[in-house]
Every structure is written in structure tokens, then in C-alpha cells.
Amino acid sequence: MAAAISDEYPYGVHSEEIHMDMSEFYDPMRRQYDANSILMEIDGFMADKYIKKVGLFRVDLFIPILTYIFGQATLNGKTAIASLYRLRNEQYGMPKNEELLIERFKKVIIHEIGHTFGLVHCHNPICVMRSSTYVEDIDQKGLKLCNACKKIAGL
């Protein structure tokens, strides 16, 4: 993961495991976790220690206007989150594929970090910043930022 992130963003990557009590973010009516609340919680962790922070999860995330999301970020902010939950083939009745799962997760993480650099969704079909409503959308786009997005982000 760290290598894929460093390939797109010219900063060192440090990983740190932090355990959170997720119960306060759980919505029993939806049987999902509130991404906006989790994002705010992560934003408060080590506030000044890192340029950007990405919380990685295994739970089903939502925001009020969507049924589910793969990740969420603060536009022009410092914090993003991403979840493996909806990226697993098994969610869709298909055979387990760890390699595809990791590839999808990298794309979601790089996409969400892009939002923290001020990038919005891109119309270039292979740019990692292209919007992804369905897991198939993630599969169809590339792992890299297009040149236009790199320029906007100052990379």
C-alpha cells in the first residue's frame, strides 16, 4: 500500500495501528457505520503530526445521502478514510480474489487522498479520481492520477 501511495504523492508514508471503539459510529437502523463521524474522529488523531491521514477500515460505511461508500475525505483537508467492506468479491457472490481486493483498495485510498489535495472527480476514464459508484467502476479506472489532476494538485 505504502509504495502505491508514494508513487502518486511525493511524501513519506508511515503506518500506525490505532484501535477505535466503533460502536459510537454504528447506525443500527442502517446496520452500517457513519463515515462522516468516523472522518471527524480520525481528523482529531495526531492533528499536527502528519501532512495527511488515512483511516483504513473493514466496516460498511455510509453517508446520509448514499446507500454505501468506499471511502470519504475532507476536500482540501488532512483526513480521509477507506474501507475494504464493499470491495470484496464475496459481497457480490463472486469468488474471493485477494489480488483484486488489494488493487481496489489502493485505488480507493489514492482517490480519497486526492480529495485531500483539493481534487474533485475527474472525467478521464482511466484517472484514479474518476467517480466510482459501483465496484466495477473501480475496476475500470487506473491506479494513477491523470496529468491534469497532478497539475491541479501541484504534484
Contact (Cβ atoms closer than 8 angstroms) between residue 24 and residue 30: no
Contact (Cβ atoms closer than 8 angstroms) between residue 123 and residue 130: yes
Q: Are strands 53-57 and 61-63 parallel, antiparallel or unpaired?
A: unpaired
Determine which one of 16, 41, 103, 112 is catalytic.
112
Nearest to 132 by CA among 38, 83, 69, 73: 69
Q: Does residue 112 have an active-site annotation?
A: yes
The residues annotated with a catalytic role in the active site are 112
